[in-house]
């Protein structure tokens, strides 16, 4: 008789959480996440807030877009980014705030 593995969450939820956490393991992507937690921003605004070049900022935003962490809307020639409504992404607000407030 084979025993069934019991998991806390469905496998696809675990895979999704792992992908999001892996993506945000990079300091630039974490800075972008923290910036977008405050609301929608243009690439120029994000770039200024995180202190990176526009090209670098755009590259990381595209990676985050592909992975479903951010979404964007276009207004004229400007792209405005915001966090997706994905529960995994939304819950990262609590995780990142807790980690940044904790003292090592």
Beta bridge partner(s), residue 41 = 81
Q: How crowded is residue 5: how many other Cβ atoms within 10 Å of its Cβ?
A: 6
So what's the pLDDT on residue 3? 59
Domain coverage including residue 26: 12-96
CA 55 to chain centre: 18
Mean pLDDT of the chain: 87
Residue with more model confidence, 3 or 69: 69
- Count structural domains, the chain: 1
Closest by CA to 82, choosing from 93, 73, 74, 91, is 73
Residue 4 lies in a domain: no
CATH code, domain with 62: 1.10.10.10
pLDDT tops 60 at residue 13: yes
Residue 1 lies in a domain: no
Radius of gyration of the chain (CA): 16
Residue 29 falls inside a structural domain: yes
pLDDT at residue 64 is higher than 60: yes
**Residue 30, in any domain of the structure:** yes
Can you give the pTM of this predicted structure?
0.80
The answer to whether residue 7 is domain-embedded is no
Residue 87 has pLDDT above 80, yes or no: yes
Instruction: Tell me if 26 is assigned to some domain.
Output: yes
pLDDT, position 10: 81
């Amino acid at each position: 008789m084979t025993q069934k593995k019991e998991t806390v969450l469905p496998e696809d939820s675990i895979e999704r959480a792992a992908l999001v956490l892996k993506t945000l393991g990079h300091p630039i992507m974490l800075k972008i996440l923290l910036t977008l937690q405050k609301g929608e921003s243009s690439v120029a605004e994000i770039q200024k807030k995180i202190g990176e070049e526009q090209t670098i900022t755009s590259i990381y935003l595209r990676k985050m877009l592909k992975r479903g962490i951010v979404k964007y809307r276009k207004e004229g020639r400007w792209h405005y980014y915001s966090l997706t409504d994905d529960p995994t992404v939304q819950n990262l607000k609590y995780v990142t705030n807790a980690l940044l407030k904790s003292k090592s």
